[in-house]
Chain A
Amino acid sequence: MLSLGPIIFGLILGLVIGSQIKLNVSDAKFTKASFIVILIAGIIVAWQSGNYPFYTDLPISTAFLSALIGIFVGKLLFARSK
């Protein structure tokens, strides 16, 4: 059975923190392609973490992945660029 707790609260915490990401404030340019690379790197980290924290529903860390998705969604929905 899929454990909903880490998914729901990972998304909420990710939304909370992702809402503070502001791009175009430094001289380093981050485009959509950069975020796709970060997403792929995050999926690899989540895969290598295994089913942390010891839930046996999926062979991937659902808390990590939902936090990453929450950060991106929070950045897209709530972040204000300067």
Chain B
Amino acid sequence: MSQGSVILKLISLPISILLICLGIMTILGGHITPGGGFQGGAMIASGIILSVLVYGLGNSPLELSHLYIEVFESVGALGFVIFGLIGLFVGGFYLYNFGTDLLNVVPAAIQSVFHYPDVTNAGIIPYLNIFVGLKVFAGLSAIVIAFAGFKKIVEEGE
């Protein structure tokens, strides 16, 4: 599976790490800049994909286990749904922004717990970005790792 030269193998892990950091930065700036959960998650997944393509499945320094992918895909989806349901029960609308509370219907204690700690008064939007980012990162990485695994099986069968 691995097709990388020595130079590729030397440079791929550092570039993967920097790509992952850029993805995290994009996720965390999603509420005030272009970007957000999907774009940042795709950038993180691109770091994993680069590593898997260059080093090969089974040899990659950045390879995710089945359990890890399963856990973070579920955490991403469940977190989004749970935040939406909290908004439904507390504010009356699904995905109501109870961290900012424009309608003044949420108790101050809940509002202060879920308020994102920065100067923009964004409420729960950054948390939703983080959940979407986790889900996209796990999903896209899983697709490529599965394709690499299928290719390995085909090559071993020939």
Q: State the A residues within 8 Å of B (CB).
A: 1, 3-6, 8-10, 13-14, 16-17, 20-23, 25-28, 30, 34, 37-38, 41-42, 45, 49, 52-55, 61, 63-64, 67-68, 71
* A20 adjacent to B119 (CB under 8 Å): no
Interfacial chain B residues near A25, Cβ < 8 Å: 55, 58-61
Contact residue among B13, B20, B28, B55 (Cβ-Cβ distance under 8 Å from A6):
B28
**Of the residues A17, A20, A63, contact of B25 by C-beta under 8 Å:** A63
CA distance A43 to B102 in the complex (A): 38
Query: Which bracket fits the contact residues of B?
Result: 35 or more
**Can you pick out 28 interface pairs between chain A and chain B where the beta carbons lie within 8 Å of each other?**
A3-B118, A6-B28, A10-B25, A13-B24, A13-B27, A13-B133, A17-B137, A20-B64, A20-B65, A21-B62, A22-B63, A25-B59, A26-B61, A30-B13, A30-B61, A38-B14, A42-B18, A45-B22, A52-B25, A52-B29, A53-B28, A53-B29, A53-B33, A54-B29, A54-B32, A55-B118, A67-B21, A71-B21
How many A-B residue pairs lie within 8 Å, measured between CB atoms?
A: 110
User: A55-B119, A71-B17 are contacts. A28–B6 as well, Cβ < 8 Å?
Assistant: yes
Contact A22-B61, Cβ < 8 Å, known A6-B28, A27-B9: yes
Q: Is the interface of B mostly helix, strand, loop or mixed?
A: helix
Chain B interface (Cβ within 8 Å of chain A)? 6, 9-10, 13-14, 17-18, 20-22, 24-25, 27-29, 32-33, 44, 55, 58-65, 68, 72, 116-119, 126, 130, 133-134, 137
